[in-house]
A = this chain, B = another copy of it.
Amino acid sequence: MKHHSIIELIERKRDGGVLLSDELQWIIAEYTADRLPDYQMSSLLMAIFINGFTGEELGPWTEAMLRSGDVLDLAHIAAPKIDKHSTGGVGDKISVPLAPMVAACGISVPMMSGRGLGHTGGTLDKLESIPGFRTRLDGDEFVAIVEKHGLVLGGQSETMAPADRRIYALRDSTGTVPSLPLIASSIMSKKLAEGINGLVLDVKTGSGAFMKDEPSARLLAETMVGIGASHGTKVVATLTGMDQPLGVAVGNANEIDESLDVLAGGGPADVVELTYSLGADMLTLGGIEDTREAALARLRKAVESGAAMERFQEVIAAQDGNPDVAGNRSLLPTAPLRYELTAPDTGFVTKCDARDIGVAGVRLGAGRERKEDDVDHGVSISVLAKVGAAVDKGDVLAVVDYRDQDRMDAARPLLERAWEVGGAADEPELIIGHIA
């Protein structure tokens, strides 16, 4: 690879210029090989944060990150390989029912998920509520499970996209996290390294999302769809609201419980709506069905026939978890103490703030403040009254199952301010738009 002067490249980005494909590849290769010190990378990242990336820069940057480590080769699997990714929210357990549903319809899902950080939950933490369930899989095992069961639910391998891992850690400590191009390339480098044919994105906007406003979320979605196109992978995105939590359950074990409800044909309306919508995207992207209507019908059938639940139990067993959890929810951990938040007035719920509820969950122990923190899988928040609901004074808005009084005391003020009751309020839109 041609050698470049890192200082000249930093200076060009600093002054609002454009970096060329081979320059971007060189930067990532040098950084991965430990030949570029963190202080030069962080200076460049700040310049990128402030001055941005053009579409021509994003493609090669993402490509270089995804090629910085192992790339899964799933070419021997005949089924269409489609994954789903959410930018993260509160109560967002969609991946859990979705993956087995689409797998039961003939999609191969090599899903690598993350852990909760900040106020958002993580699919891995939720899955680990299932007794015995193991998310740490080596590369061969990961491939073997998806090959056999059409589905695997693991963590990101250490050897995949190592450049992204290091850059993310650096961004985290240098004030360069909420940058649209850096977020988009980070997500896409990891996902495209899975060797998939297509990707369905759930890009969230609202108080509980990283992108607070809709235009930013839309731009992030468009950016990721563009990166997919430049890589030659079909990507579609759904823009969804995250001003209030998804579903009733916020936590870990209780989100698995709610996911099992969906697989059993029940579950809260919003969780069901979004799961089916994203599932239809995955089925049409994979060529299983031509129309959304046909895809939705096939998904319903997979649930009604029990095939989706059966597929989930299969993969639970394959990953050393106890599949009996499907029929015996008492196998899931809980917490011993209970607190009920009640409505201060009679009226309509006008606010049920996802971020405050998410942070309350973290304070209870359901999430992490630091990467190295442990998660308490049993503590939970049940969101009983969402925006638009009519409540009488004293009605229970939320039930909290907790383990530690100090943590509960720290969470309570956030829960109290999360809800507002006032005049009539419309139920907010869940699915805001589609980008393809």
Q: Name the residue of chain B whose CB is nearest to the CB of A174.
A: B43
Closest to A11 in B: B175
Interchain CA distance A39-B39 in the complex, whole Å:
4
Residues of B within 8 A of A41 (CB): 39
Number of chain copies forming the complex: 2
Q: Which of A47-55, A69-77, A335-343, A367-375 lies at the interface?
A: A47-55
What separation, in Å, do the CA atoms of A49 and B47 have in the docked complex?
Answer: 9
Is A146 on the interface with B (CB-CB < 8 A)? Answer: no
A317 beta carbon closer than 8 Å to chain B = no
Assess A43 versus B45: contact at CB under 8 Å? Given A14-B50, A50-B51, A174-B7.
yes
Decide yes or no whether A40 CB sits under 8 A from chain B: yes
- Measured in the bound complex, the distance between the Cα atoms of B10 and A38 in whole Å is 16
Within residues 1 to 39 of chain A, which ones have a CB less than 8 A from any CB in chain B? 7-8, 10-11, 14, 37-39
Chain A residues with a Cβ closer than 8 Å to the other chain, count: 24
Q: Say yes or no: is A405 at the interface (Cβ < 8 Å to chain B).
A: no
Whether the Cβ atoms of A49 and B14 lie closer than 8 Å is: yes
How far is A37 from B38 in the complex, measured between Cα atoms in Å? 10
Given A39-B38, A39-B39, A174-B10, verify A47-B50 contact (CB < 8 Å).
yes
A328: chain B residues at CB < 8 Å are none
Interface of A is mostly: helix
Given contacts A47-B50, A51-B50, contact A40 B174 (CB under 8 A): yes
Given contacts A10-B175, A174-B10, A175-B14, contact A43 B46 (CB under 8 A): yes
* C-alpha spacing A44/B49, complex, angstroms: 12
Q: How far is the CB of A42 from chain B (nearest CB, A)?
A: 4
A residues within 8 Å of B by Cβ? 7-8, 10-11, 14, 37-47, 49-51, 170, 173-176
> Given A14-B176, A46-B50, A47-B175, list of 18 further CB < 8 A pairs?
A7-B175, A11-B175, A14-B49, A14-B175, A37-B38, A37-B39, A39-B42, A42-B42, A43-B43, A43-B45, A43-B46, A43-B174, A43-B175, A43-B176, A44-B46, A44-B175, A47-B50, A50-B51
22 sample A-B contacts, Cβ–Cβ < 8 Å, listed by A number: A7-B174, A7-B175, A10-B175, A14-B49, A14-B175, A37-B38, A37-B173, A39-B39, A39-B42, A39-B170, A40-B42, A40-B174, A42-B42, A43-B43, A43-B46, A43-B175, A43-B176, A44-B175, A46-B50, A47-B175, A50-B50, A50-B51
